[in-house]
Amino acid sequence: MIKSELIARLVEANPHLYQRDVERIVNTIFEEITTALADGNRVELRGFGAFSVKHRPSRVGRNPRTGETVNVPEKHVPYFKTGKDLRERLNGK
């Protein structure tokens, strides 16, 4: 599902809301999650999961074509851990 499909489903489920309002709500939620992660915070949505940021230290990698060693700089990457309710729902419990 892409963001526009999510918005369309929410509009169908809530006919009393305008599409532009639903779109603004969805964009605001995503923006707040992004801002919190950029600030180094953790975002937890109970029953769904938790978003956090993991630190990956620098390392020496290899170019697969040439075999040449390449220094890969350190970076921060987003990480998502599913919540218990979501995991149980996916596994049919």
Q: How confident is the model at residue 93 (pLDDT cuts 50, 70, 90)?
A: confident
Q: Considering the entire predicted model, what is its pTM? A: 0.80
Give yes or no for residue 82 having a pLDDT over 80. yes
Give yes or no for residue 55 having a pLDDT over 90. yes
pLDDT, average across residues 43-56: 95
Residue 72 makes CB contacts below 8 A (sequence gap 6+) with 58, 59, 60, 61
Interatomic CA distance for residues 16 and 5, integer angstroms: 18
pLDDT, average across residues 28-43: 96
Contact 65, 45 (CB under 8 A): no
pLDDT, average across residues 62-81: 95
Residue 49, judged by CB atoms within 10 A of its CB (0-12, 13-18, 19+), counts as: middle
Q: What is the pLDDT of residues 60-70, one digit of tens each?
A: 999 999 999 99
86: nearest Cα among 42, 49, 51: 49
Mean pLDDT of the chain: 95
Residue 13's Cα: distance from chain center in Å?
Answer: 23
Q: What is the pLDDT of residue 78?
A: 96
